[in-house]
Amino acid sequence: MLSEIEQFQKWLRRKAPHSSTHIHYTSDLEKFFEWVSKPIQEVCVQDVDAFIEHFQEEGHAIATINRRLAALRSFYQFLAMMQENAPANPVRLKRHFIRQGQHLPRDVQDKDLEQLFAVITSPRDRAMFLLMLRCGLRVGEVRNLSMEDLYLYSIPGSLPRLWLHGKGDKERVVYLSSQAMAALETWLKQRPDGSEQAVFVNRSGNRLTVTGIQLLLAANCERAGVWVTCHQLRHTFGRHLVEARVPVTTIQKLMGHARIRTTEIYLHISDTQVQADYEAAMEQVMERLSLAERAS
């Protein structure tokens, strides 16, 4: 790893110790400089143009490319702050960032969820994935969860809850359903003791990584014959809340969205009123024009 990238990583970690940004940005920068094969001082605007074109041709998601551009831009801003003769920033906002259309969250069908959870025998894995499905946790929030964040024994008028360090290092409280609570208690009874305060640890007693959790889900998916991502479990939590007619402002708080516009996207996945209106309209249309097939 280049020494400048290592310094940048340490700086990001100091700024936001509970965030995974330093991990992703470091990986993005290493990929860029491996691809460009140039010293930091020689990277130019045209290199960034070529970088975008190359990764688009390889079929990388727009969000991934934009994140790598953000990492590169932040890196050069860091250099400008730390060095007197820092190189010019090769990333131009108006020129390089790619516009994205609005995409609906991809949830998981209930039958696939039943198939998946039928094969999850590990109490630890079951607890982790139920926290995503029943409480809307992001994979990074599951990874960062520590014993001091658990408030499992409720007092009158208060549900068992978790204190989370969420996206952007924002804190929020989420409540535990009875199913998630039972799974978490089962795991905690078997959790190995040690100095590590992480709720979810590996066989060595060390905190699991985000990649480790994702690989565990992939292994369970392979056994179940389905494909589900950690974030799809969270999306499905949002859909279930919409189907239960939970107010959108409550869903926003439970999912930790900064803007209600983000939460409103979930209304398009399963809008019961739109479905009912559509069904009633089609019944009326078919009464007037059935388009029945004629006997041959």
Q: How many residues does the chain have?
A: 296
Q: Which two tokens stand for residue 154?
A: 């409720």
Whether the Cβ atoms of residue 147 and residue 184 lie closer than 8 Å to each other: no
Model confidence over 163-211: pLDDT tens digits? 887 676 678 889 998 899 999 999 999 998 876 799 999 988 899 988 8
Determine the pLDDT at residue 114: 93
**Residues 127-133, mean pLDDT to the nearest whole number:** 95
Distance between CA atoms of 40 and 49, rounded to whole angstroms?
A: 16
In 136-256, which residue ranges form alpha helices assigned H by DSSP? 139-144, 178-190, 210-224, 230-243, 248-255
175 pairs with which residues across the strands? 161
- pLDDT of residue 292 exceeding 70, the answer is no
Q: Residue 224: which pLDDT band, with cuts at 50, 70 and 90? A: very high
Which residues are known catalytic residues? Answer: 138, 167, 231, 234, 257, 266
Domains in the chain, CATH or no CATH each: 3-96 (1.10.150.130), 110-268 (1.10.443.10)
Tokens 């609570």, located at residue: 181
Residue 269's contacts (CB-CB under 8 Å, 6 or more residues apart) are: 104, 105, 107, 235, 238, 239, 242
Print burial letters for 141-164: b (CB count within 10 Å at least 16), e (below 16): bbbbbeeebbbeeeeeeeebbbeb
The whole-chain average pLDDT of the chain stands at 86
Determine the pLDDT at residue 295: 59
Residue 207's contacts (CB-CB under 8 Å, 6 or more residues apart) are: 143, 196, 198, 200, 201
Lowest mean pLDDT among 19-28, 29-38, 80-89, 102-111: 102-111
Lowest mean pLDDT among 94-98, 127-131, 152-156, 267-271: 267-271
Distance between CA atoms of 53 and 43, rounded to whole angstroms?
A: 16
φ/ψ region of 205 (left if φ > 0, alpha if ψ in -120 to 50, else beta) reads: left
Model confidence over 99-112: pLDDT tens digits? 765 555 677 888 99
Determine the pLDDT at residue 213: 94
| CA neighbor of 211 nearest in space, from 24, 79, 17 | 24
Q: Which two tokens stand for residue 191?
A: 């959790």
